[in-house]
């Protein structure tokens, strides 16, 4: 078996973690896969974000669970690693991604790639976070028997969490 190289939160040494630019840079650098962290917004959207708050990663404050997607999209998430973002990696206000948008990016790049999705707990929404992830997967043609998603089944999906109950819930629900 070949060794695979995953970019943790994207190319987070070059661009701010979990941003469009970090993910695109990792793909363009040839990463075999990328890892993203996910939380649920107040309006039920699964977003790629590590912390339960936006305090460390944006120019604002607050709990991800207390903010809507549109409120988060209005924030600047580029300050952790300030750098000039190439035009084709999106504008400053396009850096926060929903999980569905991350799938769109992976599909656009049209090459086999791994996607490790870390489900972050505790979540005030309980298993609605897992349900949201599973809905995004279903919308992207996820096949639990192969672990692949995408219209061309080119995205090898791994689900992970530090929360044992999350993993038990997923193992009961995915099949």
The Cα–Cα gap between 132 and 173 comes to 12
Residues 6+ apart with CB under 8 A from 153: 141, 143, 146
Catalytic member of 50, 121, 127, 141: 50
Q: Is 50 a catalytic residue?
A: yes
SS3 labels along 15-62: CCCCEHHHHHHHHHCCCCEEEEEEEECCCCCEEECCCCECCCCCCCCC
If you search the block for the tokens 């995953």, which residue do you land on? 6
The Cα–Cα gap between 102 and 98 comes to 6
Nearest CA to 33 out of 12, 3, 7 is that of 7
If you search the block for the tokens 């809905």, which residue do you land on? 135
Q: Is 13 a catalytic residue?
A: no
> Catalytic residue numbers?
8, 50
């Amino acid at each position: 078996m070949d060794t695979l190289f995953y970019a943790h939160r994207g190319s987070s040494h070059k661009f701010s973690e979990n941003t469009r630019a970090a993910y695109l840079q990792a793909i363009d650098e040839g990463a075999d896969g990328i890892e993203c962290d996910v939380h649920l917004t107040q309006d039920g959207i699964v977003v790629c974000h590590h912390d339960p708050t936006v305090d460390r990663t944006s120019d604002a404050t607050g709990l991800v669970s207390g903010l809507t997607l549109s409120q988060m999209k209005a924030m600047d998430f580029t300050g952790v690693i300030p750098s000039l973002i190439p035009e084709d990696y999106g504008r400053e206000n396009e850096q926060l991604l929903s999980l569905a948008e991350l799938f769109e990016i992976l599909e656009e790049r049209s090459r086999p790639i791994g996607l490790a999705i870390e489900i972050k707990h505790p979540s005030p929404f309980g298993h609605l976070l897992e349900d949201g992830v599973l809905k995004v997967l279903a919308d992207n043609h996820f096949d639990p028997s192969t672990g692949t998603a995408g219209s061309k089944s080119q995205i090898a999906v791994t689900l992970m969490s530090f929360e044992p109950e999350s993993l038990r819930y997923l193992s009961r629900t995915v099949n």
